[in-house]
């Protein structure tokens, strides 16, 4: 079943091309996780990749509405989701001014430079997200929309930001059904045999990020066990084979406790891994950085103990650009 999310006309005085509804048909059976509205505000919208210390930003002013949606998406990729939404925006007169995918956006840095409704309402997988910014002219001032699309193992996540003329009537969101035959969800492609798992070095070279599997942290603890994990062996080997490369170690927690304390704890976990790489493997500390983002990027649900255990982890991010 396909649901339609319709953001109604903002200004009756606008020309017909602008006065029409901005309608997005979200695939699957979407659920709105969160909504934030400013009747008169401003929004810093990324319109370029993260370079140096920030992405290029466009300051849009007026009515600002942000929405976070979750939908089951078997067989769909983030590209497939964004392609459909982009086509719908173009049909209503919007022109894409910037579009990027994960590392092309700037990866971790781009995500956290982009103002989004936070986790868990809007989940962003740092290894699989796509972003689009669009503009529509024709009224007294331009309209802007941006889309962030990501996914977990079970759901697709869609974040919509719409900035319209200041002082306009609040857009309404209506949900209605269409015939599912008009937009079928494709079946997953059959697999003859499971694909071999990607090793850590391949993951860093292809995706720029990898999880250091095999590290074990108890809730509230940043202490590593005395044994060296296979993931640390692999990371040390990768750094020895690539002496010009540097990495950031990014700590994560489950959702038990407050954000501030979890960010501090996750940084301590990353620092524990950094210290082990320096002390046990002889990696130069200047090639390593340790950061923490708490519970803001879960791998799994925090509603189960198994999920919380998966979320207590450290990831490695390739920070070299050459």
Mean pLDDT in the chain? 80
Q: Give the pLDDT confidence score for residue 158 in this predicted structure.
A: 94
Same domain assignment for residues 171 and 304:
no
In a domain, 22, yes or no: yes
| 24, 163: one domain | yes
109 with 71, same domain: the answer is yes
Residues in the chain where the model's pLDDT stays below 50:
1-21, 169-197
Return d(Cα 267, Cα 273) in angstroms, integer: 10
CATH number at residue 170: 3.40.1000
Give me the pLDDT at residue 198, please: 61
Q: What is the pLDDT of residues 133-147, one digit of tens each?
A: 999 997 778 999 999
Chain centroid to CA 159: how far? 9
Number of domains in the chain: 2
Are residue 101 and residue 64 in the same domain, yes or no?
A: yes
Rounded Cα–Cα distance for residues 243 and 254 (Å):
33
Same domain assignment for residues 145 and 217: no
Query: Are the beta carbons of 18 and 11 closer than 8 angstroms?
Result: yes
pLDDT at 44: 95
- DSSP code string of 33-49: EEEEEEEEEEEEEEEEE
Predicted pLDDT of residue 97? 96
What interhelical angle do 200-207 and 230-241 show, nearest 10? 60
- The answer to whether residues 147 and 259 belong to one domain is no
Which ranges of the chain does DSSP label H, i.e. alpha helix?
Answer: 16-19, 78-91, 107-113, 200-207, 230-241, 259-281, 305-311
Domain contains 80: yes
Strands 247-252 and 288-292: parallel
Hey, CA dihedral for 266, 298, 201, 55, is it positive or negative? negative
Task: Give the strand pairing for 173-178 and 288-292.
Answer: unpaired
Question: CA 177 to CA 166: how far, in whole Å?
Answer: 31
Which pLDDT belongs to residue 99? 96
pLDDT of residue 19: 38
User: CA 83 to CA 101: how far, in whole Å?
Assistant: 12
- Residue 194 located in a structural domain: no
What pLDDT shows up at residue 217?
Answer: 67
Question: Which residues contact residue 52 at a Cβ distance below 8 angstroms, ignoring those fewer than 6 apart?
Answer: none
Residues 292 and 244 in one domain: yes
Domain assignment present for 298: yes
The domain of 242 spans 200-318
Beta-bridged to residue 288, according to DSSP, are 247
At residue 54, the pLDDT reads: 87
């Amino acid at each position: 079943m396909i649901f339609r999310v319709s953001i109604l006309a903002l200004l009756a005085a606008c020309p017909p091309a602008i006065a029409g509804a901005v309608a997005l048909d979200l695939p699957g059976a979407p659920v709105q996780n969160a909504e934030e509205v400013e009747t008169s505000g401003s929004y810093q919208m990324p319109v370029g990749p993260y370079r140096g210390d920030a992405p290029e930003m466009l300051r849009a002013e007026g009515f600002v509405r942000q929405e976070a949606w979750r939908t089951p998406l078997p067989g769909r990729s983030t590209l497939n989701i964004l392609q459909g939404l982009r086509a719908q925006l173009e049909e209503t007169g919007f022109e894409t001014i910037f579009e990027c995918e994960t590392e092309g956006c700037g990866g971790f840095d781009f995500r956290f430079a982009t103002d989004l409704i936070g986790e868990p309402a809007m989940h962003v997988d740092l290894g699989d997200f796509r972003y689009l910014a669009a503009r529509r002219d024709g009224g007294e001032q331009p309209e802007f929309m941006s889309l962030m699309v990501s996914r977990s193992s079970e759901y697709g996540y869609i974040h919509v930001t719409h900035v319209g003329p200041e002082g306009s009537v609040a857009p309404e969101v209506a949900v209605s059904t269409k015939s599912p035959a008009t937009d079928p969800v494709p079946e997953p492609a059959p697999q003859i045999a499971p694909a071999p798992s990607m090793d850590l070095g391949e993951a860093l070279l292809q995706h720029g990020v990898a999880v250091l599997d095999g590290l074990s942290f108890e809730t509230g603890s940043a202490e590593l066990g005395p044994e060296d994990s296979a993931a640390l062996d692999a990371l040390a080997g990768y750094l020895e084979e690539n002496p010009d490369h540097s990495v950031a170690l990014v700590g994560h927690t489950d959702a038990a406790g407050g954000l501030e304390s979890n960010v501090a704890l996750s940084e301590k976990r990353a620092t524990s891994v950094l210290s082990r790489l320096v002390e046990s493997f002889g990696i130069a500390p200047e090639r390593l950085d340790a950061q923490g983002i708490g519970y803001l990027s879960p791998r799994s649900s925090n509603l189960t103990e198994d999920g919380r255990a998966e979320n207590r982890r450290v990831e490695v991010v390739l920070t070299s650009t050459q």
